[in-house]
Structure 1
Amino acid sequence: MQTIDEMTQNFKAAQQNPVGWCREVLGVKTLTWQGHIDILNAFTTHKKVSVKSGHSMGKDFISGLLSLWFLYSFPESVVITTAPTARQVEKIVWGEIHKYWQAKLGGKVLSTSIEILPNWYALGFTTKDANQMVGKFQGFKSRNLLVIVTEAQAVDDSIYEQIDGIMTSDNSYLYLAGNPTRADGEFIRSFSDPSFKTFTYSAYESPNYIAGKEIIPGMASRAWVEHMERKWGKESPMFKARVLGEILKQSANSLISLESCYKSLNAMPTKGWRVLAVDPARYGDDYTAFVSMQGGKMIECETEHGKPTPETEGKILAKLRKGHYDIVAIDEGAMGAGIYDHIDQVLPNLKDINGNSLDIRLVPFNFGSSPQDKVQFANLGTESYFKVCNQIEQGMIQLADDGDLFAQLSARKYKFNNKGQMILESKEDLKKRGLPSPDRADALVMACSLSLDDGFVENKKEREETEFDAHNIETDEFGCPVIEDIEVYA
């Protein structure tokens, strides 16, 4: 039986050596990377630590170890773990805690809690819970307190205000960890706050990347990093945030920030038409993209690669049969004209999966055609991108959580031609910067340009009596856009 003095000495020893405690008491064998060691040791000299990094750099691994070390090294302590989603709290962070907890440590263990005594425990809940229950953090004051916030970039500033309100004791600690996919907010501001010890880790620093093989299970691999280089491009904001761990700075000549794309996940979408937009590609590196919108709500984004034209046409028709669409739009670019013509022939006799006739309008979309505002924009594509990106910024469009789409939207730049018109960066210039073709973004812009058209009428009967003219695009007798005889910038 240990004396009180012996127990006190053991506590002090553990408090001063988190790395040794995790290795010896928890038996952690993968605590070998210097980055992880530095983060844990920072808590022996600092009360606030903030970590931004690329994907799969062990931030949650550290959250789990940190929770157990603090709980069992500081008597009568309280550990709070929080994150934006239940999955992040229950499966990720508490998954790490359960992985390393051992019965010899003691305490009653549940899915997101450990209780040693009524005033000595660890607990996890989402920031959504905290927002719905104002003041939920208030009951967690303790002389030994640790608050862990993961996916910290996605946590509202109001939550950080609640956290500040409970960190009143001299022995209160805070750990923030996330990917810097926002340009502002409390998490980002922590990296210029002198009260924080901060760390930034690129996926290029992962032991697995450096060795070209798995050294620490779960950390970013060389194959993953190289795949992201090809998929997003090294110059894209998504790559910089998710791979390099860099704080985003929106370029002065970009249409939308990565942060705005993420914010749109919580937007209240505007009502409108149900639209399927298709950006066809046949061979090479490009993908055929299918985007479905219901007004401002993104329903689906799907891509396929290397499919022959008949397969693409068949997929479009299959989607139309079961999708209850009002409009189908097809990019009439090099690969789209033939697909448009075939769909135009088949559509009048197409029936849904129950054998009912369909009333779907087929709309050609040509990014290089003449815009409505010929003074400000060089072509319809630039005008449409500008309008849709503004609608995303205004909260009219709710995007699906699609990292590839966000990367394409936020990477696209614009410039001004010699007429003073805004013009989008060409796909050729994108590829020179090492960025992929914006297939998903193009399909989204087409879909939103039509789904949020001012001519939308919610009542079906009135809709049938309303003449549809999505962009006031003048067409010839074959349904193709009439392009004025002016210089067009592709």
Structure 2
Amino acid sequence: MRSGFTPVLPLQLDPRYIYTAKRFAKDLTRFAVEVCGLKVTHQQRELFNHAQMIGSRVSVASGHGTGKTKSFGIIALWHLTMYHDSITNVVAPNIAQVRKQVFKEVALCLSSMRRGPYAWLAEHIELLVDSIHIKGSKETWHVLAKTAPKGAPENLAGSHAKHLLFLVDEASGVDDAHFGVMTGALTEENNRMILASQPTRNTGFFYRTHHDLSIFQGGAWYPLTFNSEESPLVTAEFIAEKKKQYSIEQYDIKVRGLFPDKNDGYLIGAKEVRASFGRDVLGARDWGWILPIDVGGGDYRDSSVMTVVKASGHGLYGDNALRIQIVDIPVLSNTIDPIKFTGQVHHKSLELADASTLVDYGGMGNIFYKQLQNMDTPNLEKVVWGNPCFKRENKECFINLRSQAIVSLCRAIKEGRFGIEQSVIDRYGERIVGELTRIPFDYDEKARYAVKSKKEMRGMGIPSPDIVDTFAFPFLEGINYIINDAGRANGDDIQVQMLKAAAVEAFSDLN
């Protein structure tokens, strides 16, 4: 990334520099086109027009693929080269984010510069892992990659310069305390600050720059929204794919650049849950048995639960998405003897032909699973849902498997793919409503669903959602089931059904 060539004269003394600075210092779009070779979109042009203003404060709420990161790379390079002794801080929740995204775009721009009429300017720039500087002025004329770790706002303190710029990427994930430090450093007339992020939450400083701190409410911040649907960089095929993949709320955030409007912080409401009561979601479809098991901690706080499920379809969205019918909850107890519970699960798995038995493999579940193994319980699968997702599209949407499963359950309820038989409702209906409507969540800085942990829920006074856990297990990626003889609707034998299911799963993994 280093050129190896050291210019004879410092940049500020190069006779070409004064002319170049006059040409581009107040015209960022021209710099992007003529120096970096960028074909500027209307969204990028709007950002550049506001960013180039003296003392600018700009905040961009953006969907996927709008060129936001490319724009940040160009702005960083523009500020570095066009303003003598300038300081630029590129800030993100983690340092790897800056290196892999904004600094990568700077490197690409430098490569373009070296192939054009401004190759001489590129030779004055040295790009390192965590910094970019003008040769001969490393301490006073540079771009620095900085992180904004939670609870350590002092990490961003100490920046002051006549020409100072803060570029904050994934700004929705940065704590407000960090913004207090950064805005406190903007003491000079030509100090700038530009924020960009997917709009993942409706609280915090980034949210406020689009609301009460915006110029339209008497504040200092100019808010921009980059809708992926309106970007020439985003294909219609991509938009169509994401409409299927994302929930309505996530699509608004990750594609349309809109802040979430759900204010209570919970995944689903009581009306939506009650709509699943008595609903038949299988009809004449093929189905198989799943036996999800949640093992209580043995401290009378968590319950042990065995749920009997009929499953049909595969995948989390689309025409053949997974459908779940809750048939029975034969065990729900916080006092049951673990040995007795093991025997009941084993017996039920044999009673339900070809049932897939899913056991939460954590805490007491480790021992429970091994006991079932020793009893030769068929089709036994571990649930380790604290792990990250495996599939790329799920990694993009969920911070871990638990979030993936629970959010997918709630989506199935909303889409009418989840039903609970009346006999279950008669016994546990109100508890089910209580558990499902008290699943708190956030979005992380990448707009991924982050369902609160059980420890966090206890801190909020919310009991363990033990029934909901068993409802969610079948929605975990990678969970399979075998079409039951009684559940075959079209005459295919079980082997054919399993091959079909495997083909669907394999295709999903490749994409």
Q: TM-score, with normalisation over the residues of structure 1?
A: 0.56
Q: How does 1:231-380 map to 2 (within 5 A)?
A: 231-233=245-247, 236-250=248-262, 255-256=266-267, 281-283=311-313, 285-287=320-322, 316-317=356-357, 320=359, 323=361, 326=364, 349-350=375-376, 369-370=424-425, 379-380=430-431
**CA 1:70/1:285 → structure 2, altered by over 3 Å: closer, same or farther?**
same
* Matched length: 328
* Residue in structure 2 matched with residue 200 of structure 1 by the alignment: 225
* Residue in structure 2 matched with residue 89 of structure 1 by the alignment: 98
| Cα distance in 2 for residues equivalent to 1:276 and 1:127 | 44
Once the two structures are TM-superposed, the CA of residue 225 in structure 1 deviates from its matched residue by 1.3
Matched, 1:16 2:26: yes
Once the two structures are TM-superposed, the CA of residue 347 in structure 1 deviates from its matched residue by 7.3
* Residue in structure 2 matched with residue 125 of structure 1 by the alignment: 146
Q: Which letter maps to 2:143?
A: A
Once the two structures are TM-superposed, the CA of residue 87 in structure 1 deviates from its matched residue by 3.3
Three-state SS of the structure 1 residue aligned to 2:58 is strand
| Percent identical | 19
* Residue in structure 1 matched with residue 243 of structure 2 by the alignment: 229
1:108 to 112, 115, 126: 126
Do the aligned residues in 2 keep the contact of 1:77 with 1:120 (CA within 8 Å)?
yes
| Cα distance in 2 for residues equivalent to 1:400 and 1:180 | 8
Do the aligned residues in 1 keep the contact of 2:88 with 2:144 (CA within 8 Å)?
yes
Q: Which letter maps to 1:446?
A: V
* Residue in structure 2 matched with residue 381 of structure 1 by the alignment: 432
In structure 1, runs of 5+ residues without a counterpart are 208-215, 258-269, 290-308, 329-342, 354-364, 407-442, 452-490
Three-state SS of the structure 1 residue aligned to 2:202 is coil
Three-state SS of the structure 2 residue aligned to 1:50 is strand
* Residue in structure 2 matched with residue 98 of structure 1 by the alignment: 107
1:25 to 35, 50, 53: 35
Once the two structures are TM-superposed, the CA of residue 62 in structure 1 deviates from its matched residue by 0.6
| Cα distance in 2 for residues equivalent to 1:68 and 1:111 | 15
Q: How does 1:418-457 map to 2 (within 5 A)?
A: 446-447=468-469
Deviations 1:3-58 (A, max 9, x none): 68864443232111111112222233xx2311111111212335111111212211
Once the two structures are TM-superposed, the CA of residue 137 in structure 1 deviates from its matched residue by 2.2
| Cα distance in 2 for residues equivalent to 1:278 and 1:245 | 40
Matched, 1:61 2:70: yes
| Cα distance in 2 for residues equivalent to 1:313 and 1:84 | 50
Deviations 1:36-91 (A, max 9, x none): 11111212335111111212211111111110011101110001001112332111
Do the aligned residues in 1 keep the contact of 2:229 with 2:256 (CA within 8 Å)?
yes
Do the aligned residues in 2 keep the contact of 1:276 with 1:447 (CA within 8 Å)?
no
| Cα distance in 2 for residues equivalent to 1:151 and 1:449 | 33
Do the aligned residues in 2 keep the contact of 1:278 with 1:288 (CA within 8 Å)?
no
| Cα distance in 1 for residues equivalent to 2:373 and 2:108 | 56
Once the two structures are TM-superposed, the CA of residue 447 in structure 1 deviates from its matched residue by 1.6
In structure 2, runs of 5+ residues without a counterpart are 1-8, 269-298, 314-318, 325-348, 380-418, 452-464, 474-511
Do the aligned residues in 2 keep the contact of 1:279 with 1:288 (CA within 8 Å)?
no
Do the aligned residues in 1 keep the contact of 2:60 with 2:224 (CA within 8 Å)?
yes
Three-state SS of the structure 2 residue aligned to 1:115 is strand
| Cα distance in 2 for residues equivalent to 1:113 and 1:133 | 21
Once the two structures are TM-superposed, the CA of residue 162 in structure 1 deviates from its matched residue by 1.0
Once the two structures are TM-superposed, the CA of residue 180 in structure 1 deviates from its matched residue by 1.0
| Cα distance in 1 for residues equivalent to 2:263 and 2:170 | 24
Do the aligned residues in 2 keep the contact of 1:367 with 1:380 (CA within 8 Å)?
no
CA RMSD across the alignment: 4.5
* Residue in structure 2 matched with residue 35 of structure 1 by the alignment: 43
Matched, 1:48 2:57: yes
Once the two structures are TM-superposed, the CA of residue 205 in structure 1 deviates from its matched residue by 0.1
Do the aligned residues in 1 keep the contact of 2:89 with 2:165 (CA within 8 Å)?
yes
Q: Which letter maps to 2:42?
A: Q
Q: Which letter maps to 2:169?
A: T
Once the two structures are TM-superposed, the CA of residue 95 in structure 1 deviates from its matched residue by 1.2
Q: Which letter maps to 1:242?
A: K
| Cα distance in 2 for residues equivalent to 1:399 and 1:278 | 33
Q: TM-score, with normalisation over the residues of structure 2?
A: 0.54
